[in-house]
Chains A and B, each alone.
Chain A
Amino acid sequence: MVDDGPIRGATSIRRHVTIPADLERVAELRATVREIGAGCQAPADCIGDLVQAVDEAATNIIRYGYGGERGSIDMTAELVGDDIVVTLVDEATPFDPTAAEGPDLSIPPHRRTPGGMGIHLMRLATDSMEHRVRPGGGNILTLTRSRVRRPKEG
């Protein structure tokens, strides 16, 4: 793991970590999210939501984006105003989870996207998700969660 350690300024707390595309290593991303959440005095429900969203996002990148190929996930987490902003950068096959449709129970299960349950949980756990194609290949996914209010459901 490459970890720059916390970078604390007058108005920001920031952490950066890189893991290989290995499901066993996703725990390091969760730990980093917990650290920055605690560092900016976020309530437990906020930290839990971000841990969830990052876990699901990273798992999908490793499982479906890299699909067993070697690669890495670069995560930056920072406090911006009252928002905790987590950015995940990979070099995997481009995939936009924000464009994935929510679960439609009228669709036969075999036609639903594997990992769709994780995207459903990511939406509920964040205030916003933004996806960009990374220049040169890959994805840039930004997950934002306020530390002072819960995301809207529905």
Chain B
Amino acid sequence: MAMQTTVERVEARVPVTVMTLSGELDASNYLRLVDDVRPVYDGGARDLLLDLTDLSSISSSGLVSLYSILKVMQGEEPPDPEYGWNALHSMERDAEDGKTQEVVRLCGMQPAVAEVLRRTGIDAMFPSYPDREAALAAF
């Protein structure tokens, strides 16, 4: 398997669910990642931190899964994953609407992963922190 996830509950100022992604997020596993988040939301979690410290690469499919995770955590249905730009367009529309979300945050991005988010403009959609400690302090 190209990617593993672990989930833990951490008490910051509010209860934060930390999902750690290890390995490579690609077209073979991005839907599974979204499926992993659904029970987290259904279980009552409303603040999610994705710890990407051990994620070595992310493909365009992975970007779609990040956006889909955000939609799930906002209680909405994610876009059709087969249409990558459709998802991205939805993100841009949200950005234009001035929707700054703090439901899903990212931490520990490696340079290669950060570059992919930057090149697609998706970095602007997610509050991001250098490490888990800094992220938890921000909740």
Q: Footprint of B on A, CB under 8 Å?
A: 23-24, 26-27, 30, 44-45, 48-49, 51-52, 55-56, 59, 62-63, 103, 105, 109-110, 112-118, 120-121, 124, 153
Contact = CB atoms under 8 A, between A and B. Distances in A.
Interface residues of B, number: 26
B60 A118 contact: yes
Contacts of A118: 59-61, 84
Contacts of B82: 114
Interface of B: 2, 24, 26-28, 57, 59-61, 63-64, 82-86, 88-90, 92, 111-112, 115-116, 119-120
Contacts of B83: 109-110, 112, 114
Contacts of A51: 57, 112
B26 A26 contact: yes
A126 to B, nearest CB: 12
23 contacts: A23-B26, A23-B28, A27-B26, A30-B24, A44-B111, A44-B112, A48-B57, A48-B111, A52-B116, A55-B27, A55-B59, A59-B26, A59-B27, A59-B61, A109-B86, A114-B84, A116-B84, A116-B85, A117-B63, A117-B120, A118-B61, A121-B60, A121-B116
